[in-house]
Structure 1
């Protein structure tokens, strides 16, 4: 296997394939669920919660890396990544790594995620097994299998469910032993913000995606829909967040609104730009916004 993963360029292609700018989608839900666990736990064991959070964080990161790697290889094989792509460089399409290498790397990332999750399973049992197996399965089915979610317009739903509701709700359950409405509300917000990333990505690539029958929502319904989808995702997030005035305190509700001007700028620029490489800048900005939102929300929870 080591020969299959070897590359003359060293570690750089693997870092590129992991798409580090998108990993905030894994960091933010773990951060928020940990802060919520501190707030709602009847007896707070800080050492235990932090240990479980770190394991869950790295397990989730490796699921996302595995998903990104498999997406890189399969999108190339299916023709979605070619010399005309506007997005960041893909290692398979650019020839930095072979499709076989990238697929092996993806499944190896999944294996690392499983190994990291073993203590979590020992701690919380069967529900964590189910969550983990489903996450791994759909990480592959995002672009693999006979019914790839990304090619059927189900990518957004996948992200809301697994990088939002499941990530926050699952880690909250892991740390507290129960699930409540607050964890699900937070999970929905995190999922909506993570979905902005995939929506910008799909809007940028909608013309090329149509050519290879990758029928994302943007490819299926066009650029006008794509713009308003992103507007809707941000509007819904900030509207839902008003819930925290009632649930915890004004700090937890107000602090994330510091990121609202950035959200407005992203939406405004997207409404006035045709899909081009500048969308990669907006992709990075939306990832930063999600991370800042999560940090500010977490600070607000702690203040409470």
Structure 2
């Protein structure tokens, strides 16, 4: 099984391994945090670029760790839905996937050194914690992904902390505005994780996981996801009273059809393949909401 993939399929194999639909969980927070910082300072473009690349690499590495450890625990098969499949379908050696994940972490660490040198060395400590969470999500003796806290961990560290870092390295301080703007992104990034767990609920339960979706069941988990969407959109009204408040923030509402599609896509579905469109719509909700919210902030600053 562990044969080297052919050259003509190599790029696609590694691209799928990074699970590109999840990378918005890294892109959106960096973009939003940086746009919020533009109100207070002239943006450092190289610093923004380094932060963006480092965050994307950490997210991709986290997905690779997921692929490796799930394979090692016997959870992934050729029929598994939602995985990159590099190991079980394309014959990539597990050690190669693990080494690639650590290589991505290494590059992110180097970028982190640059970010710290330009901003603050305290950022290095926070970044290391984020990287540790990325590894421990599926690695270690008690993976976070096997507990009911996966959504909270991914939402806070990828949705919240990344926004705070992106803002801080540009401005040198934090404000209540950036904390308030992180709330809906925390919910939506956590929602991507929840959608994944709803899709995989049956298989995860058989493997001994105790995710939130398993503990509360399919229907309640979908309700929790729907509630996250409702709060995220309602929260825009709260953001109007911040330093970055503007009616332009309601541009984010143009993403609401994706949220509706996600909820409808989960209702009444039982097999993972049936729920894949809903999973994709959940990730797209985060992408479009976060991007449009950021554009709304940017327009309010410019005009």
Q: Which residue of 1 aligns with 2:252?
A: 256
SS at match of 2:241: helix
Q: Which residue of 2 aligns with 1:272?
A: 268
Residue 241 of structure 1 deviates from its aligned partner by 2.0
SS at match of 1:246: coil
Aligned counterparts of 2:291 and 2:195: Cα–Cα separation in 1: 22
Q: Which residue of 1 aligns with 2:195?
A: 200
Q: Which residue of 2 aligns with 1:220?
A: 215
1:157-194 CA distance string (max 9 Å, x none): 11111111101011111111111111112222112111
Q: Which residue of 2 aligns with 1:13?
A: 13
Residue 113 of structure 1 deviates from its aligned partner by 0.5
The 1:181–1:264 alpha-carbon spacing in structure 2 relative to 1, beyond 3 Å, is same
1:9-65 CA distance string (max 9 Å, x none): 4333211111111111111011111110012x1xx323x2x2211110000001011
SS at match of 1:73: helix
RMSD: 1.9
Aligned counterparts of 2:85 and 2:79: Cα–Cα separation in 1: 12
Q: Show structure 1 runs of 5+ residues with no match.
A: none
CA contact (8 A) 2:160 2:183 kept: yes
Aligned counterparts of 2:152 and 2:13: Cα–Cα separation in 1: 29
Residue 107 of structure 1 deviates from its aligned partner by 0.6
Residue 6 of structure 1 deviates from its aligned partner by 6.3
Aligned counterparts of 2:51 and 2:106: Cα–Cα separation in 1: 14
The 1:125–1:250 alpha-carbon spacing in structure 2 relative to 1, beyond 3 Å, is closer
The one of 131, 134, 138 equivalent to 2:129 is 134
CA contact (8 A) 2:64 2:101 kept: yes
Q: How does 1:14-163 map to 2 (within 5 A)?
A: 14-39=14-39, 41=40, 44-46=41-43, 48=44, 50-163=45-158
Report the TM-score when normalising by structure 2. 0.92
Aligned counterparts of 2:199 and 2:271: Cα–Cα separation in 1: 5
SS at match of 1:242: helix
1:123-172 CA distance string (max 9 Å, x none): 22232111111011111100001121001222101111111110101111
Aligned counterparts of 2:188 and 2:80: Cα–Cα separation in 1: 24
Q: How many residues align?
A: 296
Aligned counterparts of 2:97 and 2:213: Cα–Cα separation in 1: 27
